[in-house]
């Protein structure tokens, strides 16, 4: 394991998995402009390194993230300043969601506001039994502004999303699992996320990236268009060395060794 200490977002290399830890526990891992700047920096490194094939994001201490850094919000003078602040968050979260490298949120505690939105931008979400996810911005006279209302709307029933937005009340891990907002609940959520990430890291990178793209684009297309996209995507995967390796390994009854080619 190698570790790169940074001010607010710690990077640890766990073989083929990049572990990113929001490291501001005294402030419940509040997310500010510095956090998203470092997220971009780490994604630059991860996406340029073919040996890093999965990402796990978690929080240090008892919270995943309580949300946007209120001390930074207090310095904003007007709506235009606020718009620039949340655009920084949105751009970083959009990039994470679009990254070809699969990502997993290990939600170890509260994930509120911008912290919840960060978890929503990940491909998969695992949670500790005591985790809670919420968008409490209504209590500040605001609403989620980094994709929260829109990603939640695409993941949950409308009545559930409206209740979360209008009351600011969070949902616990059990309810999140029931609604399909998270994938599973674990007592040791970080260990479970790292194990899942290690499994993904053994998979074919091009096919994993393509699976993300099919899901993300599929909801915006008609069924016929989506099927066309699926066929075109898989036809391209058929020409990869990893496809050859996968079929060869199947015939030889061994585990495939995908190299990302």
CA-nearest of 50, 63, 160 to 108 is: 63
The DSSP symbol for 139 reads G
φ and ψ of 232, to 5 deg: -65, -40
CA 54/CA 138 separation, integer angstroms: 34
Catalytic residues: 117, 137
Q: How far is CA 183 from the centre of its chain?
A: 12
CA 91/CA 146 separation, integer angstroms: 8
CA 131/CA 173 separation, integer angstroms: 5
The DSSP symbol for 14 reads E
CA 91/CA 147 separation, integer angstroms: 10
Q: What is the largest CA-CA distance in the chain?
A: 65
The C-alpha R_g of the chain, in whole angstroms, comes to: 19
């Amino acid at each position: 394991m190698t570790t790169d200490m940074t001010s607010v977002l710690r990077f640890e290399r766990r073989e083929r998995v990049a572990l990113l830890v929001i490291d501001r526990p005294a402030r419940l891992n509040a997310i500010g402009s510095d956090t998203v700047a470092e997220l971009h920096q780490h994604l630059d490194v991860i996406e340029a390194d073919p040996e890093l094939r999965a990402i796990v994001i978690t929080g240090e201490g008892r919270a995943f993230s309580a949300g946007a850094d209120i001390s930074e919000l207090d310095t904003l003078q007007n709506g235009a300043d606020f718009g620039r602040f949340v655009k920084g968050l949105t751009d970083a979260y959009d990039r994470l969601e679009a990254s070809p490298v699969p990502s997993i949120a290990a939600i170890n505690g509260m994930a509120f506001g911008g912290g919840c939105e960060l978890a929503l931008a990940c491909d998969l979400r695992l949670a500790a039994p005591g985790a809670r996810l919420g968008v409490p911005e209504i209590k500040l006279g605001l609403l989620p502004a980094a994709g929260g209302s829109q990603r939640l709307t695409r993941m949950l029933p409308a009545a559930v999303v409206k209740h979360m937005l209008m009351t600011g009340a969070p949902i616990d891990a059990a309810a999140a699992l029931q609604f399909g907002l998270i994938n599973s609940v674990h007592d040791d959520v970080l260990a479970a996320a790292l194990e899942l990430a290690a499994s993904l890291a053994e998979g074919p990178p091009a096919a994993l990236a393509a699976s993300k793209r099919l899901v993300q684009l599929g909801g915006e297309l008609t069924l016929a268009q989506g099927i066309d996209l699926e066929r075109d995507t898989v036809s391209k995967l058929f020409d990869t060395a990893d496809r050859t390796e996968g079929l060869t390994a199947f015939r030889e009854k061994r585990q495939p060794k995908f190299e990302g080619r």
